[in-house]
Amino acid sequence: MAIHPIEFRYGTDEMKYVWSEKNRLDKLLLTEAALAKAEADVGLIPKEAARIIEKSIDKVELERVKTIEDEIHHDMMAVVLSISEKCENDADKWVHFGATSNDILDTATGLQMKDAISVLETKVHILLDVLLDQAEGHKQTVCAGRTHGQIGVPTTYGLRFAIWASEVARHIERLEQLKPRVQVGQMTGAVGTQAAFGPKGIEIQKHAMEYLGLGAVDVSNQIIQRDRHAEFVMWMANTVTTLDKIAVEIRSLQRSELAEVEESFGKNQVGSSTMPHKRNPIKSEQICGLARIVRSMIEPELLNNTLWDERDLTNSSCERVVFPESCVLTDHIIKLGIGVIKNLRFNHDNIRRNLELLRGLNMGEAVMIELAKRGVGRQEAHEIVRRSAMEAHEMGTHLKDVLLSRDDVTQYLSEDDINQLVDPDRYIGTAVEQVEALVVKLKK
């Protein structure tokens, strides 16, 4: 019986597989085999034993491991015994030789995180491309800029998407930087001294990680230190927060009063069980809701780094929830975001309507700057335009009409000057150039 929404509602098959019981067991078995081969390399165990152990892991079945665990109540020892019972010629006595449970458990987690990062990295690059496409496609789509929820000077949709693309590009850079800190394993023994491995402990760890394609810790105690994993969880929280921000903006712009953009809406899609007309931004809302869950994983994972002495077990149960949930939901959110952004619908009539909604009041800065350039002091120009704007607002007329009625304006600006200054299409600065430069930079 499915209980958690991840089981039936959220997440991709590829990310769910990374954190599945089957894949977890496979990673544990691969780690045990790598340990045996590394120990054989340095002469700690017979090479034939390592060969048999490696061959035996293919015969281990998940159900058998779970049956043993039910009997002995130790997950790692259940894996060890499952391998051992498949070994021939006394090779079983060399399984897990010199290792502590978390040498295998944490190294397997390193392998899973490597797989998870690969899945996320692919999608986040797609997300970047989609944002860049929208930035380039709408670099000249002039719209109302807004601060404090109020209409300000014009901007462009292209610049909005470029800002988000730049942020996602930084997430990609951060992900690349954290890989060597997260994709690691260890073979350090009971409290990190490698005493059970003897003088070849460092060499054993090096060989084992090379077999697995992981980095090796420099030093550790019984577990890999959780600052590494916390960094990855915080990366996921940071990334989904960017998508949360984008989704909030889409939801705002889809409001009936604005209606500048909207999520794609299927032919047979239902918006409300009682209001047939509704076209709700449900995917953007889902992004915002699930992002809260991913962010909530930061605190428990940070606390998983504050263990007693060489270790305790408080991190273990917590991470069985934190790692799969944060990875599955982050992957799901990125996939949702790609679809929403790629398929956005733009209502250009409403974009223009909102841009001109204030009847020129939002172009006050342009008028002020030009007056200052023509000899009016900046502060005096600001006061002239402020008073003109307040008068236009009270009278419900266009700003240019008030400006044309003022001698302190017309002595500096002609009617043609004023008409050009209140034209929003003429006041987007270097927005187009900024977008074009970013697209060139990030599409290299």
Judge whether 239 and 334 are in contact, CB under 8 Å.
Answer: yes
Active site (annotated) includes residue 398: no
Q: Which of 250, 267, 244 is nearest to 344 (CA)?
A: 250
Residue 270 identity (one-letter amino acid): V
Q: Name the β-bridge partners of 266.
A: none
Catalytic residue among 272, 296, 405, 414: 272
Catalytic residue among 73, 148, 256, 277: 148
Query: Which residue bears the tokens 């996921």?
Result: 236
Spatial separation of the C-alpha atoms in residues 328 and 16, rounded to whole Å: 6
Reduced to 3 states (helix: H, G, I; strand: E, B; else coil), residue 312 is coil
Spatial separation of the C-alpha atoms in residues 266 and 379, rounded to whole Å: 53
Spatial separation of the C-alpha atoms in residues 269 and 267, rounded to whole Å: 6
- Give rounded-to-5 percent helix, strand, coil for the chain: 65, 5, 30
Residue 169 identity (one-letter amino acid): A
Tokens representing 335 are 């996939």
For residue 390, what are the CA distances in angstroms to 236, 330, 402, 409? 46, 47, 10, 15
Cβ neighbours of residue 80 closer than 8 Å, sequence gap 6 or more: 32, 95, 96
Spatial separation of the C-alpha atoms in residues 247 and 260, rounded to whole Å: 14
Letter string b/e over residues 253-271, b meaning 16 or more CB atoms within 10 A of that residue's CB: bbeeebbbbbbebeeeeee
Active site (annotated) includes residue 148: yes
Judge whether 208 and 35 are in contact, CB under 8 Å.
Answer: yes
Catalytic residue numbers?
148, 272
